[in-house]
């Protein structure tokens, strides 16, 4: 790994652990072992390095979300994505950045975060439409709204887990939203009873 990649990876990890505001260039140099001259050769400012690190975090997030677009049964893809292993106590590499005031207030830093969630939303909408078309979810559900709900459950689950320092709330949130999705499976029409047939 060259010095540029090492700096980006280190900044990515530190931002995930501490946030942007609490990560200094010195922190990055000390953990990466890259010298000051080399660091400023690749990244003249902390902000430049942070943008590269955020792009890396987005690149880590999107391949996982692309599982929603894969082949096979739509509900099986949804369940697999919701239940895939995650480190709940570290939170989402991308979502965590929205809690950092310096990121929120800087359009350049916030842009990769917004783009990432927009792309994930598209994947959710697509798989939910597939599930509705396959008769696995009710046709009266709104895929756009439901996509935001599912994304919010995951991000909120991280917040609850971190607040309590317990992955249990995150796991329960995922299981709970799956319960709700299963409750939204279309019910077959009730078969007529013998008395109904006699009335006819």
Structure token pair of residue 23? 């990560």
Task: Give pLDDT tens digits for 44-92.
Answer: 999 999 999 999 988 887 777 788 988 889 999 999 999 999 999 999 9
Helix axes 168-183, 143-164, angle to 10 degrees: 160
For residue 84, tell me if it sits in a domain. Answer: yes
Domain assignment present for residue 200? The answer is no
| pTM, two decimal places | 0.84
Provide the domain count of the chain: 1
Is residue 139 a part of any domain in this protein? yes
> What is the percent of the chain where pLDDT is above 70?
94
Which structural domain range is residue 136 located in?
A: 3-183
Q: How many CA atoms lie less than 13 Å away from 32 in the CB half-sphere?
A: 25
Residue 75 exposure: Cα atoms within 13 Å on the Cβ side: 17
Tokens 């046709």 identify what position?
139
Give me the CATH number covering residue 108: 1.10.357.10
In a domain, 189, yes or no: no
Q: Is 96 helix (H, G, I), strand (E, B) or coil?
A: helix
Contact of 98 with 104, CB cutoff 8 Å: yes
- Residue 191 belongs to some domain of the structure: no
Q: Is residue 39 part of a domain?
A: yes
Q: Is residue 199 part of a domain?
A: no
State mean pLDDT over 19-38: 93
Tokens linked to 105: 């207030």
Please name which of 122, 119, 142 lies closest in space to residue 132, comparing C-alpha atoms: 142
Whole-angstrom distance, CA of residue 91 vs CA of residue 160? 10
The confidence score (pLDDT) of residue 165 equals: 96
For residue 167, being part of any structural domain is answered with yes
Tell me what the mean pLDDT of segment 155-178 comes to. Answer: 96
């Amino acid at each position: 790994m060259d010095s540029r990649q090492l700096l980006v990876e280190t900044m990515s990890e530190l931002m995930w652990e501490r946030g942007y505001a609490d990560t200094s260039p010195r922190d990055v140099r000390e953990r990466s072992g890259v010298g000051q001259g080399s660091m400023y050769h690749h990244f003249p400012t902390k902000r430049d390095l942070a943008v590269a690190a955020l792009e890396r975090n987005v690149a880590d997030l999107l391949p996982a979300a692309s599982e929603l677009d894969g082949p096979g049964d739509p509900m099986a893809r949804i369940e697999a994505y919701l239940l895939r292993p995650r480190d709940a106590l570290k939170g989402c590499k991308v979502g965590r950045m929205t809690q950092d005031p310096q990121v929120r207030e800087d359009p350049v830093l916030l842009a990769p975060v917004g783009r990432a969630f927009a792309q994930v939303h598209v994947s959710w909408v697509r798989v939910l439409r597939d599930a509705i078309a396959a008769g696995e979810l009710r046709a009266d559900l709104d895929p756009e709204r439901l996509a935001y709900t599912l994304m919010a459950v995951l991000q909120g689950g991280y917040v609850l887990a971190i607040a309590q320092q317990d992955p249990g709330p995150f796991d329960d949130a995922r299981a709970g939203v799956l319960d709700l999705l299963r409750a939204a499976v279309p019910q077959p029409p009730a078969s007529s009873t013998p008395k109904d047939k006699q009335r006819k």
